[in-house]
Amino acid sequence: MGGLPPLVREPALKVPESTVSFVAMINSDKPSTVRPSVLPSVLPAVRALSAQLAGWRARPRSAARPQPRPVPADEELPEACRDGRHPRQIDIPFRDSPPESAERGRLRTQGRFLARQDDWETLARGLREADIDRAATLGGTPVARLLAEGAHSDAVESALAAAGRNDPTAARASLFALRDAIDHVERDPWLALVPALAHLAVARGWAGRPGAPVPGALRRDARAQHLEAAQRLVARFDPLECDSPALAAVRCALLELEPRPEARVIDDYEDLIDLDPACPDHMRALGRDLRPSRFGNWDRLDHEARRTAGRTADLWGSGAYAWVWFDALASGEAGAFAAVDGELFAEALHDILARRPDQHMANQLAAFCGLSLSGAAAPRSAQARIAGCFGWIVHNHLREIHPDLWARARPIPGSVDAGERLRRGKSRALSALAEHFAHQLRLGRQVRFSEAGIALTPTPCSSCTLAPCSALAYPRRDQRDEDTPCLT
């Protein structure tokens, strides 16, 4: 066991005798008087003592208190974190297959089964009903999209493999075979949706991953051909007449084929969001397409974020403001944080979690604030304000980790399998939590997450169980307290 460090004794102060007698005199219980003739001889000694004390206080300490080292947001973790296990001091459940992921997998499997059985009539009925009913998973993903993704998954897998070989002819042939296999694809808008979404998926494959080198002419031409094929499949169907947000989403995804996409982007997305205002994916897509690198600028994006928040206030409060800005901020493009309203964004996060207080949403927003926006931020800046929301999201809402959401919060270089994605997601979540609770971990405390809240063991004081705080329910900053609860 290491003992306490040896005490460092400072050299004794040399106090003049006149000062000692003066101090003794003023501290004596006996009443006394100080003759005026004594003061001139005492005051210089008192000044000398004050100077010596000031010099002593100004000396640097022999050993400075160690400062916490921020834990990086990814792989530089203790071995227990890097292999996906719990570090001993952070006790939080992991759900490798949360309800949202399980439901997505089930719906894709159902769509793939119907396609393999050539049961296009049943698939068309399921797509139409899900689309018209605005059916969605717990996380807000449209059911119609997931059924269509499952139905075209075999063809898309083959086409993406061809794209990996730079073989555009084979890639197109895989999707044309899918279109030919579908009965009534030219008359049924929901069956046309299946190959159209397949072409969009392969077009993204030709474009490459974010941050990859600019694709060459062959890949650009192949991508354009898939976009045009998707447009031909759905051009004859009007999303508003069909009451179909799925078709409206495809139309928005094909905006770049329009002669003046910047003139249509607002109207087309307004139709889409009005058709399905409960789906956050549509608002996030609007923000991506209003970036300066697409069809807008930051001022226009902020204006539309506010308009969308007003139109959807009955469902989201001010939450749509955050959804429209969500992917635009995560993209890291220069100028975004100078245009976003950090206070309104924080208020929007409160409104989202007030309406969707499930663990999928808590993980998605925690990963966004704690990982997607992590990095150096100027004090009192919009980035610092939004990233700082990680604290109250963790304390008030996060009770388990969904690794897949943390893996998707920041692009993973290269191609990784599902197991590696989950391991990366666990490492990222534990890293962000370890940084947030760094002070408690250095004191040797354990942070335990449960349904009742967060507790520290050993408990530093009787009021330090970090249960959800009712004060944080107020969405406006002047009506709530977002300071971290007592952790001393």
Lowest-confidence range among 108-122, 198-212, 466-480? 466-480
- Whether 169 maps to a domain, the answer reads yes
- Predicted local distance difference test score (pLDDT) of residue 72: 43
Q: What is the mean pLDDT of residues 332-355?
A: 97
- pLDDT for residue 42 is more than 80: no
Of 393, 375, 392, 395, nearest in space to 384 by CA: 375
Q: Do residues 423 and 473 both lie within one domain? A: yes
Please tell me whether residue 119 adopts helix, strand or coil conformation. Answer: coil
- The answer to whether the CB of 368 falls within 8 A of the CB of 408 is no
- Predicted local distance difference test score (pLDDT) of residue 418: 86
State how far the Cα of 284 lies from the Cα of 326, in Å rounded to an integer. Answer: 6
Lowest-confidence range among 204-213, 315-324, 412-421? 204-213
- Whether 447 maps to a domain, the answer reads yes
Q: What percent of the chain has pLDDT over 70?
A: 74
- Predicted local distance difference test score (pLDDT) of residue 1: 44
Q: Do residues 391 and 486 both lie within one domain? A: yes
Domain count across the chain = 2
- pLDDT for residue 70 is more than 50: no
Mean pLDDT of the chain: 82
- The answer to whether the CB of 103 falls within 8 A of the CB of 138 is yes
Give 3-26 pLDDT, tens digit per residue.
444 434 444 444 444 444 433 443
- Predicted local distance difference test score (pLDDT) of residue 212: 57
- DSSP letter at 94 equals B
- Predicted local distance difference test score (pLDDT) of residue 48: 55
- pLDDT for residue 407 is more than 80: yes
- Whether 46 maps to a domain, the answer reads no
- Predicted local distance difference test score (pLDDT) of residue 178: 96
Q: Do residues 368 and 244 both lie within one domain? A: no
Q: What is the mean pLDDT of residues 396-404?
A: 96
Q: Which tokens sit at 144?
A: 């119609």
* Burial group, residue 393, by CB count within 10 angstroms (0-12, 13-18, 19+): buried
- pLDDT for residue 258 is more than 90: yes
- The answer to whether the CB of 364 falls within 8 A of the CB of 353 is no
Q: Do residues 419 and 401 both lie within one domain? A: yes
State how far the Cα of 144 lies from the Cα of 133, in Å rounded to an integer. Answer: 10
- Predicted local distance difference test score (pLDDT) of residue 454: 93
Of 144, 232, 161, nearest in space to 201 by CA: 161
Q: Do residues 184 and 106 both lie within one domain? A: yes
Domain extent at residue 479? 71-95+357-373+384-488
Beta-bridge partner residues of 454: 449, 466
Q: Do residues 80 and 180 both lie within one domain? A: no
Q: Do residues 231 and 367 both lie within one domain? A: no
- Predicted local distance difference test score (pLDDT) of residue 372: 94
State how far the Cα of 398 lies from the Cα of 352, in Å rounded to an integer. Answer: 14
Q: pLDDT tier at 82 (50, 70, 90 boundaries)?
A: very low
Give 143-179 pLDDT, tens digit per residue.
999 999 999 999 999 999 999 999 999 999 999 999 9
State how far the Cα of 425 lies from the Cα of 423, in Å rounded to an integer. Answer: 5
Beta-carbon contacts of 110 under 8 Å, excluding residues fewer than 6 positions away, are 126, 147, 150
413 vs 132, residue with greater confidence: 132
Q: Do residues 164 and 80 both lie within one domain? A: no
Q: What is the mean pLDDT of residues 302-322?
A: 98
- Predicted local distance difference test score (pLDDT) of residue 413: 76
- pLDDT for residue 235 is more than 70: yes
Q: pLDDT tier at 461 (50, 70, 90 boundaries)?
A: low
- Predicted local distance difference test score (pLDDT) of residue 86: 46
Q: What is the mean pLDDT of residues 307-311?
A: 98
**Helix boundaries (H) for 187-238:** 189-207, 217-234
- Whether 432 maps to a domain, the answer reads yes
Q: Do residues 84 and 144 both lie within one domain? A: no
Q: Which tokens sit at 133?
A: 């009913």
Please tell me whether residue 465 adopts helix, strand or coil conformation. Answer: coil
Of 74, 66, 138, nearest in space to 102 by CA: 138
Q: Do residues 402 and 472 both lie within one domain? A: yes
Q: What percent of the chain has pLDDT over 90?
A: 67
Burial of 428-450, coded b for 16+ CB within 10 Å and e otherwise, reads: bbbbbbbbbbeebbeeebbbbbe
Beta-carbon contacts of 469 under 8 Å, excluding residues fewer than 6 positions away, are 395, 396, 481, 485
Q: Do residues 142 and 82 both lie within one domain? A: no
- pLDDT for residue 238 is more than 50: yes
Q: What is the mean pLDDT of residues 272-279?
A: 98
- Please state the pTM of the whole predicted model: 0.78
- Whether 366 maps to a domain, the answer reads yes
- Predicted local distance difference test score (pLDDT) of residue 305: 98
- Predicted local distance difference test score (pLDDT) of residue 182: 93
- pLDDT for residue 36 is more than 50: no
Q: pLDDT tier at 324 (50, 70, 90 boundaries)?
A: very high
- Predicted local distance difference test score (pLDDT) of residue 22: 39
- Whether 54 maps to a domain, the answer reads no
Please tell me whether residue 1 adopts helix, strand or coil conformation. Answer: coil
Q: Which tokens sit at 295?
A: 């069809």
Helix count and strand count (H, E) for the chain: 24, 3
Beta-carbon contacts of 309 under 8 Å, excluding residues fewer than 6 positions away, are 316, 318, 319, 320, 321, 324, 348
- Predicted local distance difference test score (pLDDT) of residue 129: 98
Q: What is the mean pLDDT of residues 314-336?
A: 96
312 vs 14, residue with greater confidence: 312
- Whether 457 maps to a domain, the answer reads yes
- Whether 292 maps to a domain, the answer reads no
Q: Do residues 79 and 111 both lie within one domain? A: no
Give 362-393 pLDDT, tens digit per residue.
999 999 999 999 888 889 999 999 999 999 99
- Predicted local distance difference test score (pLDDT) of residue 463: 46
Lowest-confidence range among 123-132, 186-195, 294-303, 417-426? 417-426
Of 290, 195, 268, nearest in space to 233 by CA: 195
Please tell me whether residue 99 adopts helix, strand or coil conformation. Answer: helix
